[in-house]
Structure 1
Amino acid sequence: MKHKSILTIAWLSCIIGLILSGCENDFDAKIYGKLSTTNFPATASDYESYLMDCYVPFSVNWSYNFSSQQHNFYVSEGGLHRCFDTTSDESVGWKIGSWGWLWTTLGEAQFDDMKYLGRASVGAPQHFEKVREVSRFTKIIEQLEKADPKVLPEEKKQEFLGEAHLCRGMMMYYLLNLFGPVPVIVDATLLGDTINEAHLERPDINVMTKYITDDLEFAASHVAETQKEKGRYTADYARFCLMRHYLNEGYHMDGYYQKAYDIFSQFKGNYSLYSEGKNPYAEQFKIAHKFNSETIMAVSCSNTATGSGSEGNFNPFSWYAIPPDAAKYDDQKTPTPFVNQGGGWGMVFNISKAFYDSFEPGDKRAETILTRYYSSKYGWITEKEIGNRWDGFIINKYPIETATSFQGTDIPLARWADALLMYAEADVRAHKAVSQNAIKCVNEVRHRAGLADLAPDKTASVDAFLDAIYMERGHELFYEGCRKVDMIRFGRYYSDMKALGREPSSEYFPLPNYAVQQAKQSGYKLTQYYTRDNYDGPIKNE
């Protein structure tokens, strides 16, 4: 039997519809039923529901199913924390109490076994099937473009198109940073063409970079500047994503560093670093301070959600970051940070001692990391027990605040601190010099953390300043789903991980065997591994 192309869209007699709802005017993409394509979309609200399909991979539920069971990008079990944080220098491989196989090997930067995974993303972060969703989004964009202006006013149509392009661009952005370039269809005229859909080969990195750039630039010019619902994407979020993409690809795309520098001045929101409380860095992540002055974008979560697609976004992070034996009260009957939950399911997420030790004395950001806890079995567990009772320290950046099944803590996607650090980086990369303005941006982030200005030797040269930014990004943005991408951009992934005793097996995850075999049966070669030509480790392109 002839194999069906992995890029084929099965446009059945129904599609999944979604609605906007949630408490406090939050934005939740919720699956609520099926709509017939014979009379849908017929109204402006129908088109909006149609658009909401694009948000589903970026919502937070246990999983969703368009063409196969898939983890959302931001859910703890198989999302970006596991793909880009546990695989970085922030963390250490989870061995003590581990559930085995990829739960351990990913944290050790050993990715070869990823090629044995099937289409579904269950327990393991297998996101390759999302190439199908790029095609799905391409179809949605085509339908929005064809919308009758009498049904969907032009201004609203352009805003919806901007959101669809932003979602497609970010889908490709994540796929690129997970696997390297992957085969996608962004031209709607190729959908349904079996020859083109069977053309399973990696595109050139410049080509895929341009696909992403085109989508994000369109989004930055067309998405609404503000939204009624918290967590619905805005033009500033598109600009933030563009800035990050420009920096990632600037080494091989002419003018991208300058574009990253220029776009900083195009932010429209009145952002500033959160500054309230004894430790403003820690306070900004608490439920009471959702969408504060620093937030450009976040996934809006509710502590009443349970992970069902009909209940909106939830945040299960603590269950993957707290030791199972963590007690609610210590030996003095004093409530511990876990009093509202108790132990978690396992310490999939942790902070390595080496990473913790890299913080400067007095850095308030380190206060969101717990270096000891009270065990219901063994009493006080300290750093002396690393390698025996636990692998690394506890992330308390997203604290357990309510006695609910899951926390309502929002998941940060874009913060002003990140934008400031990216601006400083873009300045030095674009202009090959260290400016006072760039130094000021980095120092602003440091001051909020209770630190002094960068020492003169840290700003004495371009290389020294980039090293300082690299370190600041790690300390400021740990477990925000971007560290491995940063390490690759700074040319430090292989060398730094090897120095920590976790030599990566490859730069990116390999493509699954089933996709490679399917391409071969269609007469194409889909390279399983991809390595950038500026990678600081061994080349693996096979």
Structure 2
Amino acid sequence: MKKLTINIKRAAICAAFLGLTFSCTKDLNREPFIESTSLAVYKDPANYKPLLAKIYAGLAVTGQEGPTGKPDIPESVINEGESQYIRNYWGAQELTTDEAVVAWKSDGTLVNYHTMDWTSSGDKIRGLYVRLIYQVVVANEFIRETTDAKMSGRGISIPEIKAYRAEARFLRALSYYHALDLFGNVAFVTENDPIGSFFPKQTNRTDLYNYVESELKAIEGDLVDARKNEYGRADKAAAWMVLAKLYLNAKVYIGQDKNTEALTYLNKVISSGYSLEGNYKNLFLADNHKSGENIFTVNFDGTRTKTYGGTTFLVHASVGGKMNAADYGIDGGWAGLRTTKQFVAMFDDARDSRAMFFKDGQNIEIDDITNFPDGYAVGKYKNLTSTGAAGSNPTFVDTDFPMFRLADAYLMYAEAVLRNGTGGDRTTALNYVNLLRKRAGASQVSTIDLDFILNERARELYWEGHRRTDLIRYGKFTTGTYLWAWKGGIKAGKAVEDFRNIFPIPAADITANPNLKQNSGY
């Protein structure tokens, strides 16, 4: 499939009026950067795809220029380079777990993620929350302006417009799903709310769950069939994946088991034509867009989508100490990210090629969380192609971020079966697990249970933004049933309060919007 690339300059011109009219705080009331009007933008049929591209761009870049300049989110909220969607989402999902620690002493709020003593005033938590809301707002404007009535009133007929609108609704549902998982009870606004500054009401976790579910079901028929869209754009399978994740985690979100429903959509994903990549390592290289395993990616290009977040962050921040930056296709490392000995111990088969640790000069023990040599480095993502060629830019990385891929669907299928969902069977589940282990060179297994699946998800999907959600679903995130280095702020690890299963609504947003109430415990 053709890879979707985003021309940021063109998208910025078309998007100057997307997302500028609503805010949960006054900081998001932004002035457009060009002399034009929303009406003029939507009168031109040539602008609709770039407008849609801007919504996708919100997952990849941080403003109207790359890598910095004219930011989407004001610097008073968070530094632009640190405001990128994947960088914020990844930090919340990985640095809070056994899979990742960060060494940057000057950035206390990131270290707070791993020690699990974050507060509602942390800039990373606020940056994450505001980025999610910003994505929703940008999508809302596109959805509002592309109704059948408005298109007819303009005399514009674009055959693809229903699919475009469905993609925008998917992207909005994706961000609301992330908000549901991370924050639970957030400010809620759709295209039906008034234009202009106002205080949105706060939704609750159950209502948000129901909204995301209904939106994804509603758009299924209008989305492009699986594997028929441009690479990096949403198709039916991407929506099915979010639905399956919604259902697999339903016990956490709404107190109900929905494993049968999860299997319904996982069967659709698995039969939709995606295929396992032959070489696991190729999934995290600069030409990973060639793989038939990726269901939905956030696309990066060292020339067109320059950012200090995304995979640029994941590659640079992982390199330091005795690691040679050129071996990772970059011009220098930031000496930040490593992993814990508890995660390393997950790889109990020495033949497992997924264990991409750099050990030379690194200590397995983390005596000082802010010391880069403490903890094995992880070389999973690289700015090199599968043939060993360097990416197009040694500073900004070409590697796409795999948000959803087929291997995840296989492991979700196995877990849903083991959780007594109907519509699947244990023989098929075991086969899916062994397909992944065979690819990695690991030994085949004859039986599986839920604990094995959790560990296999760690081995297969580490550093892809799943671990926090997985540990919460298994009851191991805050409790003492599983400990890792510096969980709770001590080297041996300790249990923390259960209210940390969701993050706080940022204090600044609580102050600015009288409709918002803080999550319990904060």
TM bucket normalised to smaller: 0.7 to 0.9
Q: Deviation of residue 301 (structure 1)?
A: 2.2
Partner of 1:128: 130
Contact preservation (8 Å) 2:317, 2:333: yes
Q: Are residue 469 (structure 1) and residue 453 (structure 2) matched?
A: yes
| 2:224 partner SS | coil
Partner of 1:230: 231
Partner of 2:216: 216
Q: Are residue 320 (structure 1) and residue 310 (structure 2) matched?
A: no
Q: How does 1:92-491 map to 2 (within 5 A)?
A: 92=101, 94-95=102-103, 98-112=105-119, 114-117=120-123, 125-128=127-130, 130-145=132-147, 146-149=149-152, 151-153=155-157, 155-186=159-190, 188-192=191-195, 197-201=198-202, 203-225=203-225, 226=227, 229-250=230-251, 252=254, 256-267=258-269, 269-275=272-278, 280-305=279-304, 307=306, 315-323=312-320, 325-326=321-322, 328=324, 338=327, 340-341=329-330, 343-347=332-336, 349-372=337-360, 380-383=361-364, 387=368, 390-401=373-384, 402=390, 404-431=394-421, 435-456=426-447, 459=448, 465-491=449-475
Partner of 1:20: none
Contact preservation (8 Å) 2:383, 2:397: yes
Q: Deviation of residue 416 (structure 1)?
A: 0.8
Quick one: distance in 2 between partners of 1:340 and 1:139? Answer: 39
Q: Are residue 28 (structure 1) and residue 34 (structure 2) matched?
A: no
Q: Kindly tell me: are residues 281 and 265 of structure 1, through their superposed partners in 2, closer, same or farther at Cα, counting changes over 3 Å?
A: same
Counterpart among 490, 499, 502 of residue 508 in structure 1: 502
User: Which deviates more from structure 2 when the two are superposed, residues 501-510 or residues 248-257?
Assistant: 248-257
Q: Kindly tell me: are residues 283 and 47 of structure 1, through their superposed partners in 2, closer, same or farther at Cα, counting changes over 3 Å?
A: closer
Partner of 1:88: 97
Q: Deviation of residue 360 (structure 1)?
A: 1.6
Contact preservation (8 Å) 2:411, 2:433: yes
Contact preservation (8 Å) 1:271, 1:294: yes
Contact preservation (8 Å) 1:301, 1:314: yes
Contact preservation (8 Å) 1:307, 1:313: no
Q: Deviation of residue 385 (structure 1)?
A: 8.2
Q: Deviation of residue 287 (structure 1)?
A: 2.7
Q: Deviation of residue 45 (structure 1)?
A: 2.6
Extract unaligned runs of 5+ from structure 2. 14-33, 385-389, 489-495
Contact preservation (8 Å) 1:315, 1:410: no
| 2:111 partner SS | helix
Q: Deviations over 1:233-282 (max 9, x none)?
A: 2221121122112212245365732221011232364222212xxxx212
User: Which deviates more from structure 2 when the two are superposed, residues 175-184 or residues 65-74?
Assistant: 65-74
Q: Kindly tell me: are residues 327 and 390 of structure 1, through their superposed partners in 2, closer, same or farther at Cα, counting changes over 3 Å?
A: closer
* Structure whose CA Rg is larger: 1
Partner of 2:519: 529
Quick one: distance in 2 between partners of 1:294 and 1:228? Answer: 14
Partner of 1:52: 53
Q: Deviation of residue 355 (structure 1)?
A: 0.5
Superposition RMSD in Å: 3.4
Quick one: distance in 2 between partners of 1:509 and 1:156? Answer: 38
Quick one: distance in 2 between partners of 1:24 and 1:160? Answer: 17
Q: Deviations over 1:160-184 (max 9, x none)?
A: 1110110110111112222222121
Q: Deviation of residue 156 (structure 1)?
A: 1.8
Contact preservation (8 Å) 2:8, 2:305: no
Extract unaligned runs of 5+ from structure 1. 1-22, 329-335, 373-379, 460-464, 531-539
Q: Deviation of residue 144 (structure 1)?
A: 0.9
Contact preservation (8 Å) 2:144, 2:192: no
| 1:414 partner SS | strand
> Identity of paired residues, percent?
20
Contact preservation (8 Å) 2:354, 2:440: no
Contact preservation (8 Å) 1:51, 1:160: yes
Q: Give, as a single letter, the amino acid of the residue that structure 2 aligns with 1:371.
A: K
Quick one: distance in 2 between partners of 1:172 and 1:270? Answer: 27
Partner of 1:536: none
Q: Deviation of residue 423 (structure 1)?
A: 1.4
Partner of 1:10: none
Contact preservation (8 Å) 1:134, 1:184: no
Quick one: distance in 2 between partners of 1:384 and 1:198? Answer: 48
Q: Deviation of residue 84 (structure 1)?
A: 0.6
Q: Give, as a single letter, the amino acid of the residue that structure 1 aligns with 2:150.
A: A
Structure richer in strand, relative to its length: 1
Q: How does 1:56-71 map to 2 (within 5 A)?
A: 56-61=57-62, 62=67, 65-66=71-72, 68=74
Quick one: distance in 2 between partners of 1:189 and 1:381? Answer: 54
Q: Kindly tell me: are residues 37 and 91 of structure 1, through their superposed partners in 2, closer, same or farther at Cα, counting changes over 3 Å?
A: closer
Q: Give, as a single letter, the amino acid of the residue that structure 2 aligns with 1:213.
A: E
User: Which deviates more from structure 2 when the two are superposed, residues 336-345 or residues 486-495?
Assistant: 336-345
Q: Kindly tell me: are residues 74 and 303 of structure 1, through their superposed partners in 2, closer, same or farther at Cα, counting changes over 3 Å?
A: same
Q: Give, as a single letter, the amino acid of the residue that structure 2 aligns with 1:271.
A: Y
Contact preservation (8 Å) 1:297, 1:413: yes
Q: Deviation of residue 115 (structure 1)?
A: 2.2
Quick one: distance in 1 between partners of 2:229 and 2:346? Answer: 41
Quick one: distance in 1 between partners of 2:273 and 2:179? Answer: 31
Q: Give, as a single letter, the amino acid of the residue that structure 2 aligns with 1:468.
A: F
Contact preservation (8 Å) 1:59, 1:72: no
